Amino acid sequence: MTIRLNQKSITIDGNEAAASVAFRTSELAAIYPITPSSNMGELADDWATRHRTNIWGGIPTVVEMQSEGGAIGAVHGGLSAGAICTTFTASQGLLLMIPNMYKIAGELTSFVMHVAARSLATHGLSIFGDHSDIMACRQTGFAILGGTSVQEAHDLAAISTACTLRSRIPFVHFFDGFRTSHELNRVQMLADEDLRGIVRQEWVDAHRNRALTPDKPVLRGTAQNPDTFFQAREACNTFYNQLSAIIPEEMKRFAELTGRSYQAYEYAGDPRADRVVVAMGSGAQTAAETVRYLAERGAKVGCVLVRLYRPFVVDQFVAALPASTKRIAVLDRTKEPGAVGEPLNQDVVAALHEAAQSFDLPMGNMPEVIGGRYGLSSKEFTPAMVKAVLDELAKEHPLRRFTVGINDDVTHLSLAVDNDFDIESPKVVKAMFFGLGADGTVGANKNSIKIIGDETTLHAQGYFVYDSKKSGAMTISHLRFGPEPIKAPYLIRRANFIACHQFEFLEKMDILEAAENGGVFLINAPLAPEDVWGALPVEIQRTIIERHLKLYAIDAGKVARQAGMGGRINTVMQTCFFAISGVLERPEAIAAIKHSIEKTYAKRGEEVVKRNFQAVDKSLENLHAIRVPQTATSQLHQTGFADERMDDFTRRVQSVMMAGKGDLLPVSAFPVDGTWPTGTTRWEKRNIAAEIPVWEPEVCIQCNKCAFVCPHAAIRAKVYEAAQASNAPESFLGVPYKAPDMRGLTYTLQVAPEDCTGCGLCVQVCPAKDRTNPKHKAINLMPQRERRDQERLNYDFFLNIPEVDRSRITRLDAKSSQFLLPLFEYSGACAGCGETPYIKLLSQLFGDRLIIANATGCSSIYGGNLPTTPYTKNRDGRGPAWSNSLFEDNAEFGLGIRLGVLEHMNHARRLLTELGGLLGSQLVDQLLDSPQSTEQQIAEQRQRVKALRQALATIPGNPSVVLAQLADYLVHKSIWIVGGDGWAYDIDYGGLDHVLSLPFDINVLVLDTEVYSNTGGQSSKSTPLAAAAKYASAGKGTAKKDLGLMAMSYRHAYVASVAFGANDNQTVKAFSEAASFHGPSLIIAYSHCIAHGYDLRMGADQQKRAVESGVWPLYRYDPRLVDQGKAPLQLDATVLRGSALDYMQNETRFAMVEKMDSDRFHLLADQAVRNTLQRVALYRELARIVLPQDTAPSPDAAASLDASSASPAIKTGFDGRTNNDGAVKA
């Protein structure tokens, strides 16, 4: 045996482990982002940009496509041309590839795709890991091979590559999303030389020789007929038969080369086991470790790790089972409702039956097989759960179908678990860190793992858990360090070291739940050391005393500021961890941190290194051991999330989820279909802002700009009768309203102190300055803590003052729009988010009649990520109804909603006509014909509907009942399709284009951040020239697609380009016009984003720069103007100030390209400046064009044309349009 002993060992995550092999053994990677696999594509793009080579000396071509469907199409083409190709995907992305997977397999094409296995969206979306995606393509003809660990993600990627090239059968190589893809662990890396040994050149040559080429012309993709298709389909059988032998042979050869041995079906445990668990993925590692632990203690238990799922090789699987096997529990990490059993279970049963028919089973009798589900959507799967399964197998009558890891109190399938059961070695140091998203905690912990894993003999493992928010999320880092390899793909349950990096967490969270007796507890406390103990809630004090914890504290924020690190506490807290955890000796640890700082930051400049060094030194000076008294005396108590004002469901279910205890909720707690109540973010009160805006009424000019830009609806304006504030709290402020339209009312600007994120956008846009001290504005940021109680009272009082009657707002503009109740509030969006002000405005303008179809992405995550929902209701119980279908179908989904609503409306109108005699012609005529253009008219229509319902109550018969059910549809509904640029420009552009081509009254809002923000800033076709983005890390070399211009080319669609920071009134105008336009409308909204790389406090200023430089034109294209003899395109920003370069130099996404490659940047930037000027010139010309009135068919005319041609799409009997007053045309 030739074992290479010089293999390099580094600490990386599963994505990098797989991508490293994929990149080096490919010539072409076609990629598309999807969580949790996006990082593999990012790495491939990054490595290609850095000119890293594959094992044949070439730099692989990495190309981002418009969807996963596009990626696999490009791969299929590349393979047909004889290139060695790869791609990376997960979940719904894998499903989009399925059609082409049949083709690739059918053509016997060598290819490996790497999948970070993830749940499929069903009753809800989940980004987390299970096997439902890979199971959904088990029928495609691909081999499916998956590992149990980070090391296996690396090794099986290589083995898959060898096998596919040798066998010609394409492979899905998978590993568990997040649990493996994002776990950091030490990996023995395969060198290029190893890979060249594993992947034989003759196979590569053979693959190339099968290329389509005119030099040896052949034809593929024929259409075959009943006479031949069947036989031809069977012709591939021998290749699959051979594969079952090839895989073990290549695994053996791999072992000879590397010393790491794998089997397609590998047994662990007692060789005489009678109870055996079968599992695949990371859960199999947990099962294997557990059975080893139990077997060492005398239990007759075992585990078969299934690595090869397709083809399922019967004899090899059966051979892996001990002859003593009597009972088997098959664990599936997927759910197949209605099936006899889950897929792996079915395969095991079928395999045993098949074996029994073919040869004598080693165990004599057919073992009894039961099957269970575990770990859906990364639900924890622990040794205790494995033991529960083994215990179930030991019962006389085990459940034939079960679940483990949840409490199923409805169908009673779940197994009881003894959570005290633990198999972890006492030699392992287990540390948990509670941090705030983006405070640097996770980054520092990753760094610590690398320091220990790469530079000491210790093994290290890290896994990171976040809550559902984008801003102010709580992060929990789980770190293990030990002398042996760490095989524990589950969270820490007992920790020797706990650090709380945010003092506020102690108020609500059970931070010390996992603290082990005698452990260390480190707190970042903004207090003097002598004040720390007294500031702890009594519950925390008690736990510290009872568990004999050693308590340390540091004011990390202060130390970080002193070191010139702003408020970033990562280096400070990392130093403290090393200083007191005892994982390494202190001097050795500090030297290692400094070495690591140099390694990480040297490329970002000496100054950055210097400041980090200062932070290390000052941390040690400011870290204090806190004396723990013998009794807990604090008067402070932890406050939970439950509130007596909550409704039953919110209190019983959502407050538990808010407290991070959702795992404890039983099945019965949940809606059966994923339907969820709205309006629950208001219960969270996250208190994440260190500073909040404080209003100075004397300085304020009551412009409401602050409220307009607030991404979280946390600063609000209201006008009301003075008497309504007669019992206001003493500190509640109100002043006479200054504008003439509602003279006599009182005006209040109020902050929601516990919901504000402290982004500072409001203060930045405030135009009112104190004339004697211009530093002071009408709102100023002040510390939150000391104002929290007072402002909480004020805000509660403010909320109870009724909003001004909407019909009193006669002139709708940016200012007046802020007197309308926001029905989108306190979302989990990033602090300073540039998208949410648009959604909030949408909810203010049309919220009580709004339906949103939301594409997957940031807006669906902050819009609908549990535990709470930001869309809410008004006092009448009305508010936005919202749904997310998929990423790739949102335009079509929204159109379907439009058509469904239209059908209900037409149905109601027909019934109204039918029942007209009984209802009275005046009411019926008014209901049918009254305009609904203004708030007043809508209010009147609602009154008429109310009267209709009263009248219907007295009319017997089915039509009356049905009309009562549909009556609300007589009030116009505003249907909006919302999504980001990745959705609109790329993955669903075809759908969007089609929807815009139709005449239906539908509105589209594109929140354009110019990247795939949600998955981490990958380039889209909206990404501007010269901007660095993931998948375009050298700076995008092509210009942004002009979506608006493309939509205008239909000429019957309303199109607007808006940027609230530059012109908020134009934004409001565009929203109103789009809503009133009775055809398709498209609004493209500039949305600043953290992926642009600057302080989002300046977001509105930067929007202004974008507009003034011509980079982002403001316009409205209104087809209605054609009939008025006017140019349909109106430019709303006509004067250029500054150049595109001025705008670009303020954002890191551009600036970093200059810092990477100045020549390239200037080339691209010059082109960007030229493009901008050319586009401005083009739009100026277009804005001068007055179209002849008969050349641009109105939506009405367009629909008539469609109707007359009886297009199948709209042949269903309704005409699909409303007239200018909102009523349906007869």
Partner 1 sequence: MTDMSTTYMGFILNSPIIPGASPLVNNLDVVRRLEDAGAPMLIMHSIFEEQLIKEQVSLNWAMEHADYSNFEASTFLPRPEEFRLGPEEYLRHIWKVKSAVSVPVIASLNGYSAGGWVSYARMIQEAGADGLELNIYDMPIDGQRTAARLEEDSLDIIRAVRNAVTIPLAVKLSPFYTSPVNFARRVAQCDVNAVVLFNRFYQADIDIEELAPMPSLQLSTSDDLLLRIRWTAAMYGHIKSDIAITGGVHTAADAIKGIMAGAGALQMVSALLKQGPRHLTMVHKKMTEWMEQHEYQSLSELQGVMSLARMPRPELHERTNYIHILQNWSRD
Query: 4: buried, middle or exposed (CB in 10 Å: 19+, 13-18, 0-12)?
Result: middle
1158 near partner 1, rule: CB under 8 A: yes
> Looking at beta carbons only, is 180 or 244 nearer to partner 1?
180
Contact yes or no for 776/699 (Cβ under 8 A): yes
989 sits in the region (left: phi over 0; alpha: psi -120 to 50; else beta) called alpha
Q: Which stretch in 292-300, 701-709, 1152-1160, 1215-1223 sits in contact with partner 1 by CB under 8 A?
A: 1152-1160
> Looking at beta carbons only, is 244 or 860 nearer to partner 1?
860
Taking CA atoms, 430 is separated from 383, 462, 485, in Å, by 16, 10, 14
d(CA 1085, CA 838) in angstroms, rounded, equals 8
Q: Which stretch in 324-332, 597-605, 751-759, 943-951 sits in contact with partner 1 by CB under 8 A?
A: 597-605
> Looking at beta carbons only, is 60 or 1195 nearer to partner 1?
60
Tokens encoding 163: 């096998």
Tokens encoding 1012: 């795939």
Q: Which of 325, 471, 687, 854 binds partner 1 (CB under 8 A)?
A: 471
Query: Could you tell me how far CA 628 lies from the centroid of its own chain?
Result: 42
Query: 776: buried, middle or exposed (CB in 10 Å: 19+, 13-18, 0-12)?
Result: middle
- Marked catalytic residue, from 1014, 1015, 1171, 1172: 1014
Q: Which stretch in 585-593, 601-609, 668-676, 995-1003 sits in contact with partner 1 by CB under 8 A?
A: 601-609
Q: Which stretch in 561-569, 585-593, 692-700, 907-915 sits in contact with partner 1 by CB under 8 A?
A: 561-569
> Looking at beta carbons only, is 471 or 1081 nearer to partner 1?
471
Contact yes or no for 839/833 (Cβ under 8 A): no
Q: Which of 76, 168, 186, 470 binds partner 1 (CB under 8 A)?
A: 470
601 near partner 1, rule: CB under 8 A: yes
β-bridge mates for residue 304, sequence order: 267, 278
Output Rg (C-alpha) for the chain, integer angstroms.
32
* Minimal distance, residue 142 CB to partner 1, in Å: 26
> Looking at beta carbons only, is 429 or 768 nearer to partner 1?
768
- Which residues contact residue 254 at a Cβ distance below 8 angstroms, ignoring those fewer than 6 apart? 155, 158, 159, 162, 198, 260, 262
* Minimal distance, residue 774 CB to partner 1, in Å: 4
Q: Which stretch in 37-45, 265-273, 624-632, 988-996 sits in contact with partner 1 by CB under 8 A?
A: 37-45
> Looking at beta carbons only, is 588 or 663 nearer to partner 1?
663
d(CA 789, CA 795) in angstroms, rounded, equals 10
d(CA 581, CA 592) in angstroms, rounded, equals 15
Tokens encoding 926: 């008014």
State yes or no: is 1014 an active-site residue: yes
* Minimal distance, residue 451 CB to partner 1, in Å: 17
1109 near partner 1, rule: CB under 8 A: no
50 near partner 1, rule: CB under 8 A: yes
| Sole residue written with tokens 């050349």 | 1191
Q: Which of 394, 608, 1131, 1183 binds partner 1 (CB under 8 A)?
A: 608
Collapse the DSSP code of 1192 into the 3-class scheme (helix H, G, I; strand E, B; otherwise coil) and give the result. coil
d(CA 1220, CA 1226) in angstroms, rounded, equals 13
Collapse the DSSP code of 1096 into the 3-class scheme (helix H, G, I; strand E, B; otherwise coil) and give the result. helix
Q: Which of 1155, 1170, 1184, 1211 binds partner 1 (CB under 8 A)?
A: 1155
β-bridge mates for residue 555, sequence order: none
d(CA 851, CA 534) in angstroms, rounded, equals 50
Contact yes or no for 1146/1105 (Cβ under 8 A): yes
Q: Which of 604, 652, 738, 946 binds partner 1 (CB under 8 A)?
A: 604
Q: Which stretch in 97-105, 145-153, 201-209, 1144-1152 sits in contact with partner 1 by CB under 8 A?
A: 1144-1152
CB atoms within 10 A of CB 613: 17
d(CA 162, CA 204) in angstroms, rounded, equals 10
Tokens encoding 39: 């990082």
> Looking at beta carbons only, is 127 or 299 nearer to partner 1?
127
- Marked catalytic residue, from 54, 87, 100, 118: 118
1090 near partner 1, rule: CB under 8 A: yes
Query: Could you tell me how far CA 563 lies from the centroid of its own chain?
Result: 34
* Minimal distance, residue 984 CB to partner 1, in Å: 19
- Footprint (CB under 8 A) of partner 1, residues 693-722: none
Whether the bond between 311 and the residue before it is cis, its omega within 30 degrees of 0, is yes
Q: Which has the closest alpha carbon to 46: 59, 34, 35, 27?
A: 59
- Footprint (CB under 8 A) of partner 1, residues 822-881: 830, 861
**Which DSSP letter does residue 824 get?**
B
Strands (E), 981-1040: 1002-1008, 1011-1012, 1018-1019
> Looking at beta carbons only, is 468 or 724 nearer to partner 1?
468
1148 near partner 1, rule: CB under 8 A: yes
Q: Which of 603, 645, 811, 875 binds partner 1 (CB under 8 A)?
A: 603
Residues 106-145 vs partner 1: string with x where CB under 8 A? ---------------------xx-----------------
* Minimal distance, residue 470 CB to partner 1, in Å: 5
- Marked catalytic residue, from 42, 68, 152, 1147: 68
Residues 1017-1056 vs partner 1: string with x where CB under 8 A? x----------xxx-xx-----------------------
d(CA 821, CA 1014) in angstroms, rounded, equals 28
Contact yes or no for 627/530 (Cβ under 8 A): no
- Footprint (CB under 8 A) of partner 1, residues 409-438: 437-438
Collapse the DSSP code of 499 into the 3-class scheme (helix H, G, I; strand E, B; otherwise coil) and give the result. strand
Collapse the DSSP code of 384 into the 3-class scheme (helix H, G, I; strand E, B; otherwise coil) and give the result. helix
548 near partner 1, rule: CB under 8 A: no
Contact yes or no for 758/781 (Cβ under 8 A): yes
Q: Which of 121, 306, 376, 442 binds partner 1 (CB under 8 A)?
A: 442
185 near partner 1, rule: CB under 8 A: no
> Looking at beta carbons only, is 599 or 627 nearer to partner 1?
599
Q: Which stretch in 95-103, 151-159, 468-476, 699-707 sits in contact with partner 1 by CB under 8 A?
A: 468-476
- Marked catalytic residue, from 35, 687, 757, 869: 35
* Minimal distance, residue 116 CB to partner 1, in Å: 12
46 near partner 1, rule: CB under 8 A: yes
Q: Which has the closest alpha carbon to 988: 1043, 1054, 1067?
A: 1043
**Which DSSP letter does residue 345 get?**
H
Q: Which stretch in 93-101, 401-409, 484-492, 1012-1020 sits in contact with partner 1 by CB under 8 A?
A: 1012-1020
Tokens encoding 537: 């809630």
Q: Which of 80, 1015, 1023, 1087 binds partner 1 (CB under 8 A)?
A: 1015
Q: In degrees rounded to 5, what are phi and psi of residue 4?
A: -80, 120
Q: Dmax over Cα atoms in the chain, in whole Å?
A: 97
* Minimal distance, residue 437 CB to partner 1, in Å: 4
d(CA 897, CA 903) in angstroms, rounded, equals 10
Contact yes or no for 384/417 (Cβ under 8 A): yes
- Footprint (CB under 8 A) of partner 1, residues 515-534: none
d(CA 490, CA 167) in angstroms, rounded, equals 36
Q: Which stretch in 260-268, 645-653, 841-849, 1010-1018 sits in contact with partner 1 by CB under 8 A?
A: 1010-1018
> Looking at beta carbons only, is 278 or 829 nearer to partner 1?
829
Interacting residue ranges for partner 1, rule: CB under 8 A: 35-36, 38-39, 42, 45-46, 49-50, 127-128, 178, 437-438, 440-443, 446, 464, 466, 468-471, 473, 475, 564, 566, 568, 601, 603-608, 611, 769, 771, 774, 830, 861, 1013-1017, 1028-1030, 1032-1033, 1090-1091, 1093-1094, 1148-1149, 1151-1152, 1155-1156, 1158
Positions annotated as catalytic residues are 35, 68, 118, 1014
